[in-house]
Structure 1
C-alpha cells in the first residue's frame, strides 16, 4: 500500500509543479511559445480548461482556475489513495 500511495502522491506533485510552471510562464513574454511552454500547455491545458469553464478570469486578467485545479487534484489523489487502501486492506 505504501508504494501505491507514494506513487499517487508523486504523480500528483509532478502534475502540480507542471501547473505552477505553466502559470509562471504566463508572466514572461513569449515564454508559452517556447518548447517547454508548448509541451506544458499540451499536458496541462486540457485539465485547466475544465475549471476555466466554471471560473472566468476576474477583471479579464486574474485567472483563479489553476488554484482550484490544484486543490481538486490533491482531493482526487487523497481520495484515490483511500479507495485503493480500502480495497487492498
Structure 2
C-alpha cells in the first residue's frame, strides 16, 4: 500500500503544480494585456511575439468561458479573477479526491 500512497501523492503534487503554472500564465497574460491597453509597446522581436501569442493562446479559451457570463464593468474585467478562483476551488477538490 505504501507504493500506492506515494503514487497518489505524486499525482496530486503534479496536479497542484499544473494549477500553479496555469494560474501564473493567466496572471502574466492579464498583466501583459493591461500593459498594452495603457499604450505600452515592445520593440518587435520574434521571441516576445511568441511569448505573448503563447500566453494568449493558452489563457484565452479558459477566460472566454467566464467572459460570456460576466460582463466587464467599464474598463474593469472581473472574469480573470473569478476564473482563477474557480480554477483553484475545482483544482483543490480534484487534488483532495486524488489524495483520498
Contact 2:9–2:99 (CA under 8 A) maintained in structure 1? no
Which of the two has higher C-alpha Rg? Answer: 2
Select which of 2, 12, 20 maps to 1:13.
Answer: 20
Any stretches of 5+ residues in structure 1 without a counterpart? none
2:63–2:79 contact (8 Å) kept in structure 1: yes
Regions of 4+ moved over 3 Å: none
TM-score where L is the length of structure 1:
0.85
Q: Is the 2:63–2:83 contact (alpha carbons within 8 Å) kept by the matching residues of 1?
A: yes
TM-score, length-normalised on structure 2? 0.76
The structure with more helix, counted as a fraction of residues: 2
Over the aligned positions, Cα root-mean-square deviation in angstroms equals 1.6
Residues of 1 paired with 2:16 and 2:64: CA distance?
Answer: 23
- Check if 1:47 corresponds to 2:62: yes
Aligned length: 84
Q: Deviations over 1:43-74 (max 9, x none)?
A: 11000000001111111x11110001111110
SS in structure 1 at match of 2:34: coil
Larger relative CO (CA 8 A, sep 6+): 1 or 2?
2
**Gapped runs of 5+ residues in structure 2?**
1-7, 43-47
Q: Using the alignment, how far apart are the partners of 2:81 and 2:61 within structure 1? A: 15
